[in-house]
Amino acid sequence: MVAIPTQRETLSRVGGTAARQHAETRTQTHATLPGSPLAPGSARALARTALTEWRELGLTVPDRLADDVLVVVSELVTNAVVHAGTDVELICRLEPETGTCVVEVSDQHPSRAPRGHAAEAPYEPPEYGRGLRLVAALAEEWGITYRTGVKTVWARLPAGDDQEETEAYEEEPGLGVAEILAPEPQRAERDREWLGRGALTFLAEASDLLAGQLDEDLVAALTGQLLVPRLADWCAVWLEDESTARWGSPRWGGGEGGAVWSDGTGAAGPRLARVWHGSENRIEELRRALEKDPPRPADDDLRSGPVPYPWPGEALGPRAAEGSALAYRLIAGGRPLGTLVIGRAGLLRFPDEITGLVEDLSRRVALGIGAARQYARQATISAVLQRGLLPGAVAEIPGVRSALVYEPCDQGGPSGDFYDLFPAGDGRWCFAVGDVQGKGPEAAVVIGLARPWLRLLAREGYGVADVLDRLNQLLLDDATEAADAAARALVGPLAPGDGPQTRFLSLLYGELVPFDGGVRCTLACAGHPLPLVLDRNGDVRTVARPQTLLGVIEDETYLCETFELRPGDTLLCVTDGVTERRCGSRQFDDGDGLAAALADCAGLDAEPIAERIRRLVHDFGERPPEDDLALLVLQAQ
């Protein structure tokens, strides 16, 4: 999973004059939404835009109908996108002649198993989705349409004025969808039935959804969508900073911006990360009320069970002036991470079945937040380490244009690829493109040794071949093994018999000396993809011979080659993330594919060449690259 994807919506509307001509019969909004946890929010935004445009056309859209449309759109898209992980097509159609709105959500992959689960056996009933009460109710009330490759759940929502249409909801005629879902006391039996039938499935789906998130704010947002309106009318999630959250004796402070919870140490209190309500027009007012009254758990209270929370009646309107609210401490690994608060209108107390289920869910929310924070810490450490392993800036060489592409595959740890381009003194500049066997701390140790030693040896005046000889010996000596063992100790104790491991390094290293009329280049290739030169005539050739990896053979002697780059000539250096990019059984460099791609770049400057090669590598396979990618382009002017 990944980290948060960009939402792309394809929207076609009946608009302008044409819409006005057909406003008396039908107005429709259509969109295709990709599978993403953020798709329900995009769907609601689309529905709100459609409602606004319909009203601008002079069509009657009561507030109750608008609220019902937003709830239904949110639930249906959440079911298809978040729980099944599929792309969906959303259609909202207003029928002015009947005062109703039709919402259709089409699952583009109805036969595909839900994300993260194997396909169900044909003799077993489908489990996932049973907990989605609104979806089931709409399917029973209206219908499901199947076409080849598409499953559509649709709902026809009345404006509320037509009693015959309104009675289509089997219970409590005249109420909107949001009100039908509201967990009022008379629906206790319905709650128990749903809990007995779908609670375990609901928790399983929630666990899968929350465990795959790498951002704590997204975990908080998804928690709101899971709880409202299934188990509560509203909910809020506070997050605490583990390094500063202390709770002792409370003290209120703050100015015009409102009260701020403090423990007297100057440390900030909890942050209200997410507020969710079944009626979106209540969210902001509820947020303001909750920010004035944050939870106040004792610093030694590490219980996750619910405790009463003050009912924010003024923020919920006259129809929800009374109700019950509970706070659950979010705890993972013995550390408090935040607080979850839920509320239901019209109840003196929550049913025990609900409180138990939400407590189970709160534990999963805490684990999701803890995992997201651990990932964030690791990503921060890795980013700092990565910055230390790579040059802060690429040197500018007189008479040479340069361009660099560097894309580590794993954003959560140090890459095995590295590069450098630096001045070596006496009118010389040196460059390196390397790839360490493996990734993570062990690879970082090798890069941390190789790059500084390359610079040191080059500035001491050693030639290209001598630099590789000495670096090869360095990778084989005891100092490297000791550093390797130290890096391994950072990630866990050594297993019995598991001693230091030699790390191999493939390296392309060279020296550039500008002169009148071109650049003299001397380079050597140690187990690395061979560099290519594109000359002014569009011809491509290799300019080095293959040699042994560094760190493999004791006392290996490396050889170098010298050639000239005339104005317009281009040198391309890449890692195997380029040459070994796969599409099925084929690789990008099969049949001299890289040379052919470079030949097509004749006449381009360094940066366009680098970008074209990068794009061709990405486009070669259907999936994103699975290896680090680095390429350096040097072009004589």
Q: Give per-residue pLDDT as tens, 555-582.
A: 899 999 999 999 999 999 999 999 999 9
Is 50 exceeded by the pLDDT of residue 181? Answer: no
Alpha-helical (H) ranges within 534-626 are 576-579, 593-599, 606-620
**Alpha carbon of residue 586 to chain centroid:** 29
**Residue 260 pLDDT grade (very low, low, confident, very high; cuts 50, 70, 90):** very low
- Stretch 30-45: mean pLDDT: 72
Nearest to 438 by CA among 429, 426, 447: 447
Tens-place pLDDT, residues 472-510:
998 888 545 655 565 565 555 544 444 445 568 999 999
Of 447 and 171, the structure prediction assigns the larger pLDDT to 447
% of the chain residues with pLDDT over 70: 70
Is 80 exceeded by the pLDDT of residue 263? Answer: no
Is 90 exceeded by the pLDDT of residue 236? Answer: yes
CATH topology of domain 195-382: Beta-Lactamase (3.30.450)
pTM of the model: 0.53
Nearest to 77 by CA among 55, 112, 46: 46
Q: In whole angstroms, give the CA distance from residue 317 to residue 508.
A: 70
Q: In whole angstroms, give the CA distance from residue 577 to residue 583.
A: 13
Task: Indicate the range of 236-240, 359-363, 407-411, 501-505 predicted with least confidence.
Answer: 501-505
Q: Other C-beta atoms within 10 Å of 532: how many?
A: 21
User: Tokens 């680095």 sit at which residue?
Assistant: 630
Is 80 exceeded by the pLDDT of residue 9? Answer: no
Is 90 exceeded by the pLDDT of residue 213? Answer: no
Residue 513 is encoded by which pair of tokens? 């000396």
Element (H, E) at 494: none
| pLDDT at position 490 | 55
Is 50 exceeded by the pLDDT of residue 591? Answer: yes
**Is the distance from CB of 183 to CB of 191 less than 8 angstroms?**
yes
Tens-place pLDDT, residues 382-433:
777 767 677 767 788 999 999 999 988 765 556 788 899 999 999 999 999 9
DSSP 389-436: HS-SSPPPBTTEEEEEEEE-S-TTS--SEEEEEEEEETTEEEEEEEEE
- CATH 3.30.565.10, the chain: domain bounds: 10-118+127-181
Tell me if residue 486 falls in helix, strand or coil.
helix
Is 70 exceeded by the pLDDT of residue 344? Answer: yes
Chosen CATH of 390-636 out of 1.10.1740.10, 3.40.50.300, 1.10.10.10, 3.60.40.10: 3.60.40.10
Q: In whole angstroms, give the CA distance from residue 89 to residue 80.
A: 10
| pLDDT at position 256 | 31
- CATH 3.60.40.10, the chain: domain bounds: 390-636
Q: In whole angstroms, give the CA distance from residue 483 to residue 492.
A: 15
Q: What integer best gives the mean pLDDT of the chain?
A: 76
| pLDDT at position 265 | 42
Tens-place pLDDT, residues 297-340:
766 667 777 999 999 988 888 888 889 999 999 998 888 999 99
Tell me if residue 43 falls in helix, strand or coil.
helix
| pLDDT at position 252 | 31
Q: End-to-end alpha-carbon separation of the chain, Å?
A: 44
Is 50 exceeded by the pLDDT of residue 439? Answer: yes
Supply the angle between the helices 464-476 and 478-491 in degrees, to the nearest 10: 60
**Alpha carbon of residue 308 to chain centroid:** 35
**Is the distance from CB of 407 to CB of 416 less than 8 angstroms?**
no
- CATH 3.30.450.40, the chain: domain bounds: 195-382
10-118+127-181: CATH architecture: 2-Layer Sandwich (3.30)
| pLDDT at position 187 | 55
